[in-house]
Amino acid sequence: MTQGPYLLGIDIGGTGAKAGVFTLDGRLAGTGYGEYRMISTVPGQAEHDAEAWWLATVKAVREAVRDVPADEILAIGIGCTNGLVAVDRAGRPLRPAIMLWDQRALPEVDRIRNVLDADRVFQITGNPVAPGAYSLPTILWLKHHEPETFRAAHKLMVPGGYLVARFTGEFTIDHSRASTTLLFDIRKKEWHHPFLAALDIPEDKLPRPEPSDTVVGTVTAGAAALTGLRPGTPVIAGCMDTIGASIGSGVIRQGECFVIMGTAARVSGPLERAQFDHRFMNCTHVLPELWLYIGAVNGVGSSLRWIRDTFCQREQEIADAAGGDVYDLITAQAGQAPPGSKGLLFLPYISGERTPIWNPYARGVFFGVTLGHTRNDFFRSVLEGASFAIRHVIELLETDDGLGIRELRIGGAAAASGVWVQIIADVLGKKVVSLTQSHTEVLGAAVLAGLSQGVYPDLPSAIAKIVVPGKEYEPNPAAHAAYNSLFPLYKTLYGEVQHHFEELARMDLPQVWITRGGQS
């Protein structure tokens, strides 16, 4: 067993809760995972049972700390995906959490634009008025379509803050996640009262904003009994998952770039000035002199998981019998297909899309299907489509925003797939460095917890001590040439079919979702 003291990181993602216990030099001493499922019973719905977040976290933490003395865990950091959950005074959910993929709040975007000046919103918050990525449309949907829940809500919480409340009883939101509400002044780092007043949102329903590495409470006796932690263990405000990933990736200088391949992918890096591109999400950084841009690409891990769940029952059975990973079997088959998948293109918009098209109605598209295409080609085209989406974001950063990006660091589940990482390198024509630490967000949250306890002199020192880059992948010139031929068609294809997406959505979505908002 590794020697303490230790730091505990937790991440609430799109499909499960991860926990990792780390030594102060970043070695993994214990890990745990608890899975939960999306609630999507009608088109456009994307909810989570927030109680399932807590139960999955309890499971993950108990597994992670099984062989670690509880009194040697110095502090806890929590990272999270985006969603909104209304809770009572005890921190218990009043209804299922509405997640960032949910489409019911689309009409509220127009309401915001009618009440607030969109340019002013971007000036104050650093983010555009758009659906999917931001909390404000969902807050307004709740206010207008479930007023009894809105009135009963003690606080409107994001996933990380919700867990902090379950651990500590304190209702907080870290600055980075507050940046994605459209109600937070990204420069002053406080709620923007004129927006609250104009939209009639009581400030007392919002959690208290705090810097990510600030201790906001300690583990209660009740939470300790469930998780195996020590009562009184400090808990920090935490961070959005991308902030955790930036730390876990070792990316803290402008021009450096990383991508985390989860349910969604985030292509991200630091900015030295508060000059923002409206096609990107933007948030505060842990370092006060920096900000972070985020190119959020929805259909990455979710596309591969859809392939797994829909077409790969055989591979799942083989993996279960052999104790292997079903994704290894899928990507190995993809590796048997040639670059370009014999001209089969995939638009990975199965959950709508954020950066750069910001179209919640967008749909996934397989284009160019012939009798000559095999399962291997379809599998590879999904990996290539996600890689093209990443290239689309990188291209904007370089051509429009003047950021020179020489290499890409990659973490998350895809970092373990040599096939997929090589495809990304070939599509980009850049060196890609995989990260040896598979729990990148969890590690970043743990490092922030360490900063709160003064175990590192500063963030750069912590990163230099902890982050260990892994294998380097150089692009194959022939494969890159093939992808250079296909990439313009990939971009053109969206423009050719985009006008059909909303038409399809309005055929599928019950009218109640469009005009009145569906009840869950």
Is the pLDDT at 253 greater than 80, yes or no?
yes
Residue ranges of domains in the chain: 6-249
Q: How confident is the model at residue 100 (pLDDT cuts 50, 70, 90)?
A: confident
Tens digit of each residue's pLDDT (9 = 90 or more) over 507-518: 865 544 444 444
Q: Which residue has the higher pLDDT, 216 or 130?
A: 216
Q: How confident is the model at residue 437 (pLDDT cuts 50, 70, 90)?
A: low
Q: Which residue has the higher pLDDT, 229 or 15?
A: 229
> Any idea which residue has 């102060």 for tokens?
24
pLDDT at 124: 98
Is the pLDDT at 345 greater than 70, yes or no?
yes
**Could you give the CA distance from residue 146 to residue 159 in angstroms, rounded to a whole number?**
20
**Could you give the CA distance from residue 225 to residue 291 in angstroms, rounded to a whole number?**
38
pLDDT at 510: 52
Q: Which amino acid is at 517?
A: G
Six token digits for residue 129: 């008025």
Q: What is the pTM of this model?
A: 0.87
**Could you give the CA distance from residue 36 to residue 113 in angstroms, rounded to a whole number?**
35
pLDDT at 1: 64
Q: Which residue has the higher pLDDT, 373 or 401?
A: 373
Six token digits for residue 232: 């009184």
Provide the percentage of residues in the chain whose pLDDT is more than 90. Answer: 81
Burial of 367 (0-12, 13-18, 19+ CB in 10 A): middle
Q: How confident is the model at residue 133 (pLDDT cuts 50, 70, 90)?
A: confident
Is the pLDDT at 271 greater than 90, yes or no?
yes
pLDDT at 508: 60
Tens digit of each residue's pLDDT (9 = 90 or more) over 388-426: 999 999 999 999 988 989 899 998 777 789 999 999 999
**Could you give the CA distance from residue 514 to residue 44 in angstroms, rounded to a whole number?**
10
pLDDT at 78: 98
Q: Which residue has the higher pLDDT, 103 or 299?
A: 299
> What is the mean predicted confidence (pLDDT) over 119-148?
93
pLDDT at 69: 95
> What is the mean predicted confidence (pLDDT) over 287-316?
93
pLDDT at 15: 85
Is the pLDDT at 264 greater than 50, yes or no?
yes
> What is the mean predicted confidence (pLDDT) over 232-249?
94
pLDDT at 489: 97
Helix/strand/coil for 176 = helix
Provide the percentage of residues in the chain whose pLDDT is more than 70. Answer: 97
Which CATH code of 2.40.50.140, 3.30.930.10, 3.30.420.40, 3.40.50.620 fits the domain covering 6-249? 3.30.420.40
